[in-house]
Structure 1
Amino acid sequence: MSPKATAEEVSPQVALRRALSLFPTGVVALAAVVDGQPTGIAVNSFISVSLEPPLVAVCPARTSTTWPVLARATRIGLSVLGADQEQTARSLASRTGDRFANIDWRATEGGAIHMDGAALWLECEIRHSFDGGDHEIVTLEVISSEAFPEVTPLVFHLSQFRGL
């Protein structure tokens, strides 16, 4: 909110979005080969849920046209993007063009896609989906993981990409 703006000029949704932008989050690529094509999106709503069974959760927007396609995949790759992968995040968040152009990635035997240069790779299967308002809350079971602790993660804070 600009110094001259009053509370009445900002909708509750905009005010909440600005407030929540104070909470830094990681940036995660969700990707898989679907119908022979690489398919993916970027999300910043990602959490660890459980160690036994190994579960994580993501929250794709209901307005996403890519998530329903990606949700058909047998396995989905989650890549916690590295600090130098801002362009990868922007490309995967794009609504037009080839999202995978100029991105180095690899697919597992199960069809999960991982981004080269990420801090963490998880190969997952969808377990449950719940109503989350304008987003869907999706729990995924972690089938395998590979960590790259030397990679500094990309962070989204105050509506900007940043490194730690």
Structure 2
Amino acid sequence: MKIKNVLLNFCAIACFLLTLFSFIYPASALSLRSPSSLTGLVELKHLAKQSVAYSTALKNPKPTLIEFYADWCTTCQAMAPTIKALHDSQSSQINFVMLNIDDPQWSEQIQHYNVRSVPQFTLVSPQGIPQKTLYGKVPKAVLANLLQQL
């Protein structure tokens, strides 16, 4: 009988805490704070399909932004809308290249550009010379400014 009472009290406290938590952090507020990983992953994969091939980017006279990414990287997924917006506005002046670090075909480029974390954004001049490398979550304004300077 005592065990039954303890379990009932435990359940009552748990329900109370869950109710309290739902008032402090409503589901709508939580969903606004972090976008769905699935949405970020879909956008990341879409960007990868839209990107310029690495070999093509090095042969044409435009500067290049190379993003080294991984599908599992939540920061890469979070950056996808920023990169998409920059791509949409500047793809006529800049090559946007995306290289998945989990794909063995890019191992030479990973070594060449000294990739140590993802996302890594490497800005390359039209002559193929790396100009600047940024890591992690980079504000859109910073990337836009660097692309304009490039």
| TM-score, normalised relative to structure 2 | 0.29
* Larger-gyration structure (1/2): 2
| TM-score, normalised relative to structure 1 | 0.27
